[in-house]
Amino acid sequence: MKIKYLFAGLVVSTVMLSSCTQVDEINRLEGIGTAQLSVKGFIVGNTDEYPAIIDPEAGTITVQVPYYISDTDPIMGDLTQMKLEATTPVGYSFNPSISGIHDLAAGYRTNLLDDKGHATSYTILAEYVKSSSTDIASVVLTEMERATIIIKAPAAEGEHGTVSIYKTSSAIDGALHSAIINVAPWATFECSAYDPETGIADLSDYPQITVTAQDGVTKAVYDIVVDYPAIKDYGAGYTAALFGFQPLTSDPRGFEVGANTTMAVVGDYLILSNRLDVSKMPVYDRFTGKYLEDVKVNVTGLPTDRSFAAICTDDAGHLIAATYVNSNVNYNGGVITDPNVRIFAWVNGIENAPKPILWADMNGSYFQGAPRGVNGQNNYDMFNTISCKGDITSGNAAIGTISRAHPRCVILPFVNGTYSKAYVEWAGNGAGAASMWCSTKCRMLTSEAPWSYVWDQGMARMGIFYIPAGTANNRCVFFEQPESHWWVSPAPLTPNWSYVTRSNDVIEFNGTQLLATTNGYSSNGNWTYRLYVADITMSPNSKSLGTGLVFDSRDGNAKGNEGVPGTGVTVTGMSSGYSFTTGTVLGKNATEMNDVIFARSEDGTAVQVYMLVSDQALIAYEITCFDI
């Protein structure tokens, strides 16, 4: 990664270009005098730009080149191979021209001609400049990497900066003993509790950190502060990325092409389904994204000849998995599956064998013909996704799924672990075209009738529907597309396969009702997806999805990417069919499956939200109620 140093304080002119320009181009601005002049240089083969100090009295223009142009290796730029770009007042020009490649170590002589033909002689030079940056880039507690730490540089000369470690858990006290401090490139730091052999600092006694810049002169002192964060009365507070990665052909990290389509959180584990082989469900640390190869889900007793595409967690943290069923040869590669629906729950932890909780024939009385018989049709395509509200082992609970071939939400009620007859729901009348696709999810919000739930179309019509509790067929609220932080389809109700919305999840948090979804856009056949989260409130209306923006992983929040660390065109901000680093992304997402789920921290001060794009990405963010 190249260093992009800014020496704005050294440049006489602060005039900036309003559009992208090519190297060697002369940009002319209205105005008079050399105060309107600015020059910058480029090293051949490097796109980084370096501003210059202009001294009319001495007749010099000196391009400021970082001493090392690499963050990690002592690589110096070649000052004999440089190009120039200038912004001048209207009517001014350089003679001879500054176009071409110049040896600025030796200097290049030219004249600046004003609008009356008067010439001022200049020598354009380049010099190496050591960085004055004294930033602390990060402080990481090795025993609690997800700790909330805010670093603020000194506001003025003579003042101290701060490293604020927020005590969001009692575990912070122990974690302070083992910290890693990362400072600006080529800077150094001193800390009385730092062990250079291990690279670990003990911050438990709150030692100061003194950072010395590469120039050896500029210094900054940082104080360690451990404090309880203020809690917001309502809504989301500090939000940041937890992790993000792309599975690659060289490093799949537990992914398998076409296999991993839904997610579930159990304790500190994030589990992905494997619809090709249920015994290979990958497990991750849900706070770091680390692939836990040695942690396995016990699948004893699960039928090996069935596909388990759909998994979820109930409100008590039990993992649930359901078999895919299909009677339509137009789906699932033309394979007609066993019509028996089988659902299992891991009631004693994922390390123990699951318990069967439902075994019913799609043709039998349990499903009451639902969704068979809908509009006179008898095909079905179900259990690509599921959700569960309530404790599947105790009291009332409800599992929600959808029928893709003949769009309906299907609800499976349970009482104390025993199932009763399934219901078919259609509360979308007048709320846009009826379409459900592979990753459409019926997210249950109530555990008993009258039913409330959210469902998404999972495809190009991009609709997301909120169904409040009730019995009326027309009680649906159809969310309009957001006008920002979103790839907006030109015709929302007309399928445009360059735009999709897939999957959803909902959670109540700090007085809000948060809804998450994935929003996708295709350019030249490459699909990218972003994670979008909004507070739809407890009484949503059609505009709630847009007006309630909390953040999206590509564009951040209303303050932009700086308001939400980790957002942007990065591996934590988007998925892509192309690699953000090196290597080849695992697959093409041929299943057209995405999933998004929420999970809650044990102390209730935060929720985590996860985005899965089959074959291509796993991204996670944490939303807290901390007012920082």
Report which residue type is found at 193.
Answer: A
| Residue 95's pLDDT band (cuts 50, 70, 90) | very high
213 touches 187 (CB < 8 A): yes
SS3 545: helix
Give me the mean pLDDT over the 492-500 stretch.
Answer: 79
Angle at Cα 333 formed by Cα 329 and Cα 339, nearest 5°?
55
What's the gap between Cα 116 and its chain centre?
A: 56
Overall pTM > 0.75:
yes
Identify the burial level of 296 via C-beta atoms within 10 angstroms of its C-beta, where 0-12 means exposed, 13-18 middle and 19 or more buried: middle
Q: Which of 178-192, 432-446, 497-511, 535-549 has the lowest mean pLDDT?
A: 432-446
Q: Quick check: 333 pLDDT over 80? A: no
For domain 8-129, which CATH number applies: 3.30.160.150, 1.10.1040.50, 2.60.40.2340, 1.10.1060.10?
2.60.40.2340
Q: Quick check: 427 pLDDT over 90? A: no
Measured distance CA(393)–CA(402) in Å, rounded: 22
pLDDT digits (tens, 9 = 90+) for 522-531: 988 889 999 9
Q: Quick check: 112 pLDDT over 80? A: yes
Q: Which helix (H) or strand (E) holds 608?
A: strand 606-613
Q: Quick check: 320 pLDDT over 90? A: yes
Q: Quick check: 235 pLDDT over 70? A: yes
Give me the mean pLDDT over the 5-26 stretch.
Answer: 33
Measured distance CA(565)–CA(183) in Å, rounded: 18
Q: In the prediction, which pLDDT does 23 show? A: 45
Instruction: Identify which has the larger pLDDT, 206 or 31.
Output: 206
Measured distance CA(442)–CA(545) in Å, rounded: 17
Q: In the prediction, which pLDDT does 378 show? A: 73
CB neighbour list of residue 166: distance below 8 Å, 6 or more residues apart: 147, 148, 149, 150, 172, 226, 227, 228, 229, 626, 628
**Structure tokens that stand for 409 in this block:** 């939400």
Measured distance CA(584)–CA(365) in Å, rounded: 49
Q: In what order do the strands lie in the sheet with 263-266?
A: 263-266, 269-272, 283-285
Helix spans in 219-367 (H): none
Q: In what order do the strands lie in the sheet with 594-600?
A: 239-245, 617-624, 606-613, 594-600
pLDDT digits (tens, 9 = 90+) for 249-260: 999 999 999 999
Report which residue type is found at 599.
Answer: A
SS3 481: coil
Measured distance CA(613)–CA(560) in Å, rounded: 24
Give me the mean pLDDT over the 309-327 stretch.
Answer: 96
Q: Quick check: 289 pLDDT over 90? A: yes
| Residue 332's pLDDT band (cuts 50, 70, 90) | low
Q: In the prediction, which pLDDT does 376 show? A: 62
* Per-domain residue ranges of the chain: 8-129, 136-227, 239-624
Measured distance CA(62)–CA(319) in Å, rounded: 65
Identify the burial level of 564 via C-beta atoms within 10 angstroms of its C-beta, where 0-12 means exposed, 13-18 middle and 19 or more buried: buried
Q: Quick check: 90 pLDDT over 50? A: yes
Q: In the prediction, which pLDDT does 34 show? A: 52
Give me the mean pLDDT over the 192-199 stretch.
Answer: 96
CATH class of the domain at 136-227 = mainly beta
| Residue 190's pLDDT band (cuts 50, 70, 90) | very high
Q: Which of 32-41, 225-234, 347-356, 413-422 has the lowest mean pLDDT?
A: 32-41
Average pLDDT, the chain: 89
Q: Which residue has the tokens 């920002």?
A: 484
What is the DSSP secondary-structure string of 108-148? Answer: EEEEEE-TTS-EEEEEEEEEEE------EEEEEETT-TT--
Give me the mean pLDDT over the 365-388 stretch.
Answer: 78
Q: In the prediction, which pLDDT does 15 show? A: 30
Q: Which of 197-211, 489-503, 561-575, 585-599 has the lowest mean pLDDT?
A: 489-503
| Residue 380's pLDDT band (cuts 50, 70, 90) | confident
Q: In the prediction, which pLDDT does 277 show? A: 97
Q: In the prediction, which pLDDT does 140 show? A: 95
**Nearest of 98, 9, 94, 93 to residue 51 by alpha carbon:** 9
| Residue 372's pLDDT band (cuts 50, 70, 90) | low
Q: Quick check: 405 pLDDT over 80? A: no
| Residue 428's pLDDT band (cuts 50, 70, 90) | low
Measured distance CA(394)–CA(417) in Å, rounded: 6
Q: In the prediction, which pLDDT does 166 show? A: 92
How is domain 239-624 classified at the CATH fold level? Neuraminidase (2.120.10)
Q: Which of 10-14, 37-41, 385-389 has the lowest mean pLDDT?
A: 10-14
Give me the mean pLDDT over the 374-380 stretch.
Answer: 69
Q: Quick check: 344 pLDDT over 60? A: yes
pLDDT digits (tens, 9 = 90+) for 21-65: 344 455 544 444 455 789 999 999 888 999 999 999 999 999 999
Residues facing residue 13 across a β-bridge: none
pLDDT digits (tens, 9 = 90+) for 449-459: 999 999 999 98
Q: Quick check: 185 pLDDT over 90? A: yes
Q: Quick check: 282 pLDDT over 80? A: yes
CA distance to 228, 257, 296, 572, per residue, from 589 (Å): 43, 8, 25, 18
CA distance to 32, 388, 418, 525, 592, per residue, from 123 (Å): 21, 73, 87, 50, 60
CB neighbour list of residue 521: distance below 8 Å, 6 or more residues apart: 487, 498, 499, 527, 528
Report which residue type is found at 371.
Answer: P
| Residue 200's pLDDT band (cuts 50, 70, 90) | very high
8-129 and 136-227 have identical folds: yes
Residues facing residue 402 across a β-bridge: 409
Give me the mean pLDDT over the 76-91 stretch.
Answer: 93
Q: Which of 8-12, 47-51, 408-412 has the lowest mean pLDDT?
A: 8-12
**Structure tokens that stand for 145 in this block:** 């990497």
